[in-house]
Amino acid sequence: MTRRFALVDRDGTINVERDHITDPDQIELIPGSADALVRLREEVGMGIVIVTNQAHMGRGELAPADLDRIHERLLGLLAEDGAAVDAILHCPHVPDAGCACRKPAPGLALEAADRFGFDLSASVVIGDHAGDVGLGRAVGAMTFLVLTGHGREERASAERLADHVVPDLAAAVDIIATLLPRGR
């Protein structure tokens, strides 16, 4: 059996939502998110890929090197709490670019599945936007809308796409651990 994976949104799901993060110092973990990622990996045995839309790159407001520094900070904060991820994938395009990678399009999920060799229909997608749960629907994954970040304001448009609506990432992991225990 191949390893299952979770595709997890970044802003508003793992770290505190800030309007277009452009500086590593803006990264602050949502309380409990690192522990939730540890549980996802250790208790459930899932791989973890962060998938994030970064339109401000396409608008010229964020250079690739700056995004790298932001992700280094995020990974460092997660590591301080014992959490790790397999990869961070991003879409650098503006919403109207028509690309295949901007969530809810399946490009980032397809890239992750190709890179790590997992079945998208056996994966989970967790995020605070309709685009996140839309991505999950597009690839046949189990979907979770978290009510952190933009989740509360996105709920009306996203709830119909979500298999589960939960307060935060930790609550999503509680359900995943029950439904998909290690080895199943």
DSSP run (H or E) holding 131: helix 130-139
- pLDDT value for 34: 98
Give the span between the Cα atoms of 32 and 23, in whole angstroms: 22
pLDDT tens per residue, range 130-167: 999 999 999 999 999 999 999 999 999 999 999 999 99
Catalytic residue among 9, 128, 132, 168: 9
* pTM over cut 0.75: yes
- pLDDT value for 180: 84
Residue 184 lies in a domain: no
DSSP state of 4: P
Residue 11 lies in a domain: yes
The residues near 100 (Cβ < 8 Å, ≥ 6 apart) are 106, 107
- pLDDT value for 70: 98
Question: 32: domain range?
Answer: 5-179
Whether residue 13 contacts residue 147, with contact meaning beta carbons closer than 8 Å, is answered with no
Residue 157 lies in a domain: yes
Residue 99 lies in a domain: yes
Residue 63 lies in a domain: yes
- pLDDT value for 1: 57
Q: Is 11 a catalytic residue?
A: yes
Number of structural domains (the chain) is 1
Residue 50 lies in a domain: yes
Residue 132 lies in a domain: yes
Q: Is 174 a catalytic residue?
A: no
- pLDDT value for 2: 77
Catalytic residue among 11, 128, 132, 168: 11
Residue 183, pLDDT > 60, answer no
pLDDT tens per residue, range 77-124: 999 999 999 999 999 999 999 999 999 999 999 999 999 999 999 999
Residue 20's CATH number: 3.40.50.1000
pLDDT tens per residue, range 3-48: 899 999 999 999 999 988 999 999 999 999 999 999 999 999 999 9
Mean pLDDT value across residues 68-81: 98
Residue 103 lies in a domain: yes
